[in-house]
Structure 1
Amino acid sequence: MPWPDLPPPHTLLPFEATVRHASMTRAAQELHVTHGAVSRQIRNLERALGVTLFERGTRSLEPTAQARLLAAAVRDGLDRIDSAARQVSRREESGPLALSCEPTLLMRWLIPRLPDLAAQVPGLTVHLSAGGGPVSFEREAFDLALRRDDFPVPARVSRTPLFDEWIGPVCSPDLARRLGGADGLSDVTLLHTSTRPHAWDDWRRLTGTRSEGGPQREQTFEHFYLALQAAVAGLGVAIGPYALVHDDLVRGQLVAPFGLVPDGTGYQLLGPRPPQEDARVSALLDWLRGQAARLRPAQDLTGRAALPTASRPGPREV
């Protein structure tokens, strides 16, 4: 045997799943075996290695440093075997793709563009679901996720940047005419959202704008799309990310009277494997890149104040 230190191969799958979930119960559920079967394989692996791999508490199971090191190597090996098996078998992935997307981006940007996807990639079906924040492709029933890059992503997850985030105050044209300069913000209702409670603070920090006057009128909405719809209705001024307000700016339902600035974040497509390993994902990514290319503010769609050319960053590599 050319690998004298290789532990029993049949112990590695339950071990990796147990480390990933920090739970034998959830590992057993994933592998469709009993809790006892997983526990026996973990004990067999510990005996073969001569080390304890988990610190067992009354209601907790904590992998040791050695366990995390071994699990990372096992995971990398399984990923390589999976990729090689797909290439050897020449198996074509088929069926629809399940894509999870942040709710407001889904409603205000992605869904309105789906007719173009159907025309450009007629053989591709995408099932959409709304979701935000960290993803676990092992535990959740979707193939891809479109997310803002404001949380850490595990190294094993494939990440493809799509477009940068630009933000700025947006409001109806009638309300914009009454604002004058940034001082006018103290005389209108500022619209907030629970999902990005610091959006106004972020914009002020990025632009060096101070809050003038006394207490301002404010209204908070549970979701971003509600705050933006309130801005369209003329109820006040909201912070509008460019992708989420692009169509309203084009239609003239909203204006960005003070322009937009990059906030240092962006949106990315996440997946369990590199896009080139699945023809469906590659086709969807090509289409998303084409749509994303239109979201770099290269002309004045922002109301009275055009974006200063000198302050625009170059496009992010995708």
Structure 2
Amino acid sequence: MMPDRLLPPLRLLTVFETVLRAGNIQRAAAELNVTQPAVSQALKALEDYVGLRLLDRSTRPATLTEAGRILQIGVTEGLDRIAEAVEQVRNLDRAAGQSVTIACSVGTATYWLMPRLAGFYTEQPDIAVNVMTTPGSPEFQPGMDLAIRYGTGNWKDGRIVKLFDERVVPVCSPDLAAEIGGEAGLLRATLLHVRSSDRSWLTWKDYFDLNNLPENRTLGRYFTNYIQATQAALSGQGVMLGWESNTGDLVREGRLVTLGGTPMVPKEAFYLVVPDRRDRKPASDLLEAWIRRIAAGHG
């Protein structure tokens, strides 16, 4: 690494480059907003620093000496590289300000958030949304700007915005619904179960109790996550309890159908959690506003 004492002050190099680019001291002084004597003094100081004449003042206009030509190449390339580096740094800052990270469960990301994000990109094409998925309710981590959680909304780690209530009702493929004869066929249909340690998770027993139906004794199929069960329902393998946030779009598209009965409406709901931070990004505010607007029309 070159010792600092071998480098002249950047101000002197800037004056030197400006004189060469402007063509003479007068125009350089105007560009730098200083007097002509100040420019001349800076050139003289630079020559004293390097120990050689940089300009041949015996000609009109003054011309570069051999030492001046060597220094011109280095100064021009050096200042250009500095300018490029500064622009890259600014672009990094702009890129950071134009991205936002939101966390939610895998199911919420797959079936609710991701299918709707195209609408956000249509409105805000310059903002990148990073979606971080978690097996359960996400906890804030460094770099996370927003979180969508399912629960009672009593968290203390940010501002809480209710998005929409949940609704749970049996769903299956249209072909299977026709085969089992609708709601009455639940007692003999293959039921799709999702194993969960979450106490708020609703089960087929909860549904049968709510609707005063005898429990289905048919051997069901069990899954470790909701996405697997959804794919099984789509392929006609059985009937699942469809949570509106995940299967609502599939029902509206006609890929799944509901089987009637009284739906279960849990006390938990979906919330947007906004951490209390002073360095909130404008992109985060824009995504929050968009999510609240989309959630208000949640069908």
The letter of the residue matching 1:202 is D
Q: Which has the larger radius of gyration?
A: 2
Give the Å deviation of 1:194: 2.1
1:120 matched to 2:123: yes
Give the Å deviation of 1:261: 4.1
Q: Is the 8 A contact 2:150 2:269 kept in 1?
A: yes
| 1:221-245 Cα shifts (integer Å, max 9, x gaps) | 1110110111111000001111211
The letter of the residue matching 1:122 is P
Identify the match of residue 204 of structure 2 among 200, 206, 210.
Answer: 200
Give the Å deviation of 1:248: 1.2
Give the Å deviation of 1:136: 3.9
CA distance in 1 between counterparts of 2:265 and 2:182 reads 20
Aligned partner of 1:149 in structure 2 is 151
Give the Å deviation of 1:294: 2.8
CA distance in 2 between counterparts of 1:294 and 1:201 reads 31
Give the Å deviation of 1:202: 3.3
The letter of the residue matching 1:203 is Y
The letter of the residue matching 2:204 is W
1:167 matched to 2:178: no
Identify the match of residue 249 of structure 1 among 248, 251, 258.
Answer: 251
1:110 matched to 2:113: yes
Larger mean CA deviation between 99-108 and 282-291 belongs to 282-291
CA 242–134 in structure 1, closer or farther in 2 if over 3 Å, else same = closer
Q: Is the 8 A contact 2:102 2:129 kept in 1?
A: yes
CA 135–101 in structure 1, closer or farther in 2 if over 3 Å, else same = closer
CA RMSD of aligned residues (A): 2.8
CA distance in 1 between counterparts of 2:139 and 2:215 reads 44
1:230 matched to 2:232: yes
Give the Å deviation of 1:125: 1.4
CA distance in 2 between counterparts of 1:151 and 1:286 reads 19
Give the Å deviation of 1:280: 2.1
CA distance in 2 between counterparts of 1:124 and 1:116 reads 12
The letter of the residue matching 2:170 is P
Give the Å deviation of 1:204: 3.3
Q: Structure 1: 5+ residue runs without aligned partners? A: 1-90, 297-318
Q: Structure 2: 5+ residue runs without aligned partners? A: 1-92
Q: Is the 8 A contact 1:275 1:281 kept in 2?
A: no
Aligned partner of 2:134 in structure 1 is 131
CA 192–274 in structure 1, closer or farther in 2 if over 3 Å, else same = farther
The letter of the residue matching 1:188 is A
Q: Tell me the secondary structure at the aligned position of residue 168 of structure 1.
A: strand
The letter of the residue matching 2:191 is L
The letter of the residue matching 1:287 is W
Q: Give the alignment's TM-score, normalised by structure 2.
A: 0.60
The letter of the residue matching 1:109 is W
**Count of matched residue positions in the alignment of Structure 1 and Structure 2:** 202
Aligned partner of 1:40 in structure 2 is none
Aligned partner of 1:179 in structure 2 is 180
CA 114–136 in structure 1, closer or farther in 2 if over 3 Å, else same = closer
| 1:164-200 Cα shifts (integer Å, max 9, x gaps) | 1011000011111233354421211110112366432
Q: Tell me the secondary structure at the aligned position of residue 147 of structure 2.
A: strand
CA 151–288 in structure 1, closer or farther in 2 if over 3 Å, else same = closer
Q: Tell me the secondary structure at the aligned position of residue 240 of structure 2.
A: strand
Q: Is the 8 A contact 1:103 1:130 kept in 2?
A: yes
Give the Å deviation of 1:141: 4.1
